[in-house]
Structure 1
Amino acid sequence: MMPDSPPAADAGPSVPPPRVGDRMNRSAVLWVTLAVFAQEAVWNFYDAQVPEQLRHYFTSAGVIGLIMGLDHSWGIFTQPSVGFLSDRLARRRTGRWPIVLIGAAIATVPFVLIPWATSLPVLMLCVVGFAAVANAFKGVTETLVSDYVAASNRSKAQGFVKAGVSLTIVISSLISLLVVDRSLRLAFAIPPLLMLLVLGLSWAFLGRRHTTAALPEEQAEDVREFASPWAVLKDAVRTPSSPALLLMVGIFCFAGMWSALRSLMTPYGTQVLGLTRGEAGGLALPGAVAFLVCVLPIAFASNRLGQLRSMRYGVGLFVAGLLVGFAFPTVPGTITSMVLSSLGYASFAVNALVALWNLAPGQRVLGTYTALYTIASQSGMALGPALLGTTIDLTSWRYMLLNAAVFAAVTFLVFTRLARRAPDRVAG
């Protein structure tokens, strides 16, 4: 196990918070990483296999993409209020953990029942039920980083967190390869059970000592209060040229295309590459491995390059990867495409949320700012699969990666504009 930070970080509520330059609490980062790993294991398997489940009832890629996108849209309505509530709980004895643990327990039930559904209404009830609950607490789990890690170390901490997320893609791909073609019901039972087990361990080792964890940067000037999550949102997007608003637009665009690729890659593999459902579900595995190997170096390099510059480079690599996949519509070509695109996404994933946190007016609204990130990303995830699916209906599955590259190029233009307006602490 990685060593803990100096004892001062765990001495109790009266201990001064960590200063810029203090060592990162690696034990806390480990358990937060495991918590995020637990929930993302379910989401990755959901995105890989539910579209194929929907193909039993729909033939249109646009309709399937729309349904997958609407599932993600629940976070737009639930996350601001839940994030604001988690900010209120963060400084109490339990911290944000009750929201995470109760939400995970409830979300498990409809997820496990998805392969048991024998009609479209029952399937939609399970899919919507899971998405509604899981989206509500998803951002709260990600905000745990801000409770235990000082701002100066959050990009590095996010590197570890995203490495954990990449492992969930590996787990999801392995379940698809080894279990789906043999027992679909067993395959759908594994991810939520893993989520409950790992979240329970994370809470046992970290959540139960929440009151002894020094909440970073709880400074005297951090006293600005907001009456509601909507007041926080209004403050963040107060002008059309607001850096926070521009950053949310960039998050919207990139998250939409990434979600579209994740949602439609399995049908792409069966329709274009001639793979079985299980084999197509494993296409993301090489990209996940590349993500895992490179995400930590990317996180440390981002401290030197600056968050915004790193994200722009990541978007450029993402587009290049998609063009490679379009030029070579074979299994090796698609795998190469997924590796390059995953590395580009890694640069974005490590920096986007931290950049938005850095624009927050104070520590006490970081949960709500995570909700703003969720609004942007979930809006993109809601529309991205439908938009990409519609272009597939207008062209063919063969052009999916080219269509995605055109959409992603728009994201690069957004970050180029943002670079001219963002403050130094974000742009680097």
Structure 2
Amino acid sequence: MTFDSPTATGAAAPAEPTAGERMNRSAVLWVAMAVFAQEAVWNFYDAQVPEQLRHYFSSAGIIGLIMGLDHSWGILTQPSVGFYSDRIARHRAGRWPIVLAGAVIATVPFVLIPWATNLPVLLVCVVGFAAIANAFKGVTETLVSDYVRPGNRSKAQGFIKAGVSLTIVVSSLISLLVVDRSLHLAFAVPPLLMLTMLGLSWAFLGRRHSEAVLPEEQADGERGFTSPRAVLKDALRSPSSPTLLLMIGIFCFAGMWSALRSLTTPYGTQVLGLTRGEAGGLALPGAVAFLVCVLPIAYLSNRLGQLRAMRHGVALFIAGLLVGFFWPSVPGTVVSMIISSVGYASFAVNALVALWNLAPTQKVLGTYTSLYTIASASGMALGPAILGTTIDLTSWRYMLLNAAVFAAVTFAVFTRLARRTPSRATG
């Protein structure tokens, strides 16, 4: 069973693009803008909400737990929402009603976060935003499969992830330029950006949904699924399933990446002596590095294979963390973020496409996106709490070293997966 030839699972292998099947760059641009819109909010949320929670909690473990639990909503909602989006993908408006309605509703609790005057109100706003935003997050990411043919999806993901990296830049700039002056205004900017960008994406792409690249009606002998549970049962039918092993790898890596994003701002204030706004901008150099390298990585991954590219990315991620630990200064942390971000880029470009390639039919890609969300959301739910607890047991000074140890577990998972999955993806 292979990543690059998923016919063993009953799926059709993604066709190599031909001259007549070039990637629809216009569609990729607007899908990238849609993903950019929602990720701009999430990146600012991960950068600034932990510091908001520090007004009520001194324990990094508790802050990490709260930041992680909000992501667990994706585990509960994504399979059903993703399956429903698959059912309406062929309709006139496609998946867009879910995305647009979710964005409008999620804006309300997000904007109210800095206005919360006590812990219960703050938690209501945080949980309310996370529950709504997680419900449609995976649906937005699935849009690329509606407008881009399978053979071009890895390249398309490179462009989309480049757009995502820009959200880190935007989030960092808002932290640097606005947070220390007006926290209320800072929390209003990301959702306004989200609504504007999603509106433009729908206007130029969603209204022409009839032009989308959608699977044909079910062919004879092709498996049909009547519920999200049936899709999940088929995907995870055995402990040796490559889908399950890939999900474990996604769980581990997403957990540490989320933990670092959630706790870097407090690390900057506690270890490096920065202000809250300055610490929130630590991610900016890494975001720029991500942006510069993500497209070359996307094209290189087609030659290396997805699994090999992800393994190399995890190794580079670990190396970056070790640099930051042994060089505990602002320049050292910046270099650490740059190296780690390049490693994460290799993982980010390939993980979701690898899962799509394992799908038994192109009609369940929304549900398979939910598998990615389940794995990543589970990691995001536990990663910040685990890393925060190790900080409580040691100190903020050891945060990057602790993260490197946990990331080594991720590398071990991918090494085992490579040995059990012989293909050109493993080299």
Determine if the TM-score, normalized by the shorter chain, exceeds 0.5. Answer: yes
Q: TM-score, normalised by structure 1?
A: 0.94
Q: Is the 8 A contact 1:146 1:216 kept in 2?
A: no
| 1:58-87: CA deviation from partner (whole Å, max 9, x where unpaired) | 000000000000000000000000000000
CA distance in 2, matches of 1:89, 1:356: 21
What is residue 410 of structure 1 aligned with on the other side? 409
1:178 and 2:198 correspond:
no
Matches within 5 A, 1:311-350: 311-350=310-349
SS of the residue corresponding to residue 152 of structure 1 reads helix
1:20 to 12, 17, 20: 17
Q: Structure 1 residues 298 and 19, CA, compared in 2 at 3 Å: closer, same or farther?
A: closer
Q: Structure 1 residues 221 and 52, CA, compared in 2 at 3 Å: closer, same or farther?
A: farther
What are structure 2's unaligned runs of at least 5 residues? 1-13
**Mean Cα deviation higher: 416-425 or 149-158:** 416-425
Q: TM-score, normalised by structure 2?
A: 0.94
Matches within 5 A, 1:50-65: 50-65=49-64
Q: CA RMSD in A?
A: 1.5
What is residue 379 of structure 1 aligned with on the other side? 378
SS of the residue corresponding to residue 361 of structure 1 reads coil
Q: Structure 1 residues 242 and 208, CA, compared in 2 at 3 Å: closer, same or farther?
A: same
| 1:227-255: CA deviation from partner (whole Å, max 9, x where unpaired) | 11111111111111100000000000000
Q: Structure 1 residues 221 and 170, CA, compared in 2 at 3 Å: closer, same or farther?
A: farther
| 1:346-400: CA deviation from partner (whole Å, max 9, x where unpaired) | 0000000000100110100000000000000000000000000000000000000
What are structure 1's unaligned runs of at least 5 residues? 1-16
How many residues were matched structurally? Answer: 412
CA distance in 2, matches of 1:398, 1:195: 35
Matches within 5 A, 1:267-416: 267-416=266-415
Q: Is the 8 A contact 2:308 2:425 kept in 1?
A: no
| 1:298-347: CA deviation from partner (whole Å, max 9, x where unpaired) | 00000000000000000000000000000000000000000000000000
SS of the residue corresponding to residue 353 of structure 2 reads helix
Q: Structure 1 residues 88 and 341, CA, compared in 2 at 3 Å: closer, same or farther?
A: same
| Paired AA for residue 297 in structure 1 | P
CA distance in 2, matches of 1:333, 1:422: 37
| Paired AA for residue 277 in structure 2 | G
| 1:87-110: CA deviation from partner (whole Å, max 9, x where unpaired) | 001111110000000000000000
Q: Structure 1 residues 339 and 217, CA, compared in 2 at 3 Å: closer, same or farther?
A: farther
What is residue 137 of structure 1 aligned with on the other side? 136
CA distance in 1, matches of 2:423, 2:397: 42
Q: Structure 1 residues 220 and 424, CA, compared in 2 at 3 Å: closer, same or farther?
A: farther
Matches within 5 A, 1:160-309: 160-215=159-214, 220=219, 223-309=222-308
CA distance in 1, matches of 2:221, 2:264: 45
- Aligned sequence identity (%): 84
CA distance in 2, matches of 1:298, 1:384: 26
Q: Is the 8 A contact 2:255 2:379 kept in 1?
A: yes
CA distance in 1, matches of 2:290, 2:16: 31
SS of the residue corresponding to residue 420 of structure 1 reads helix
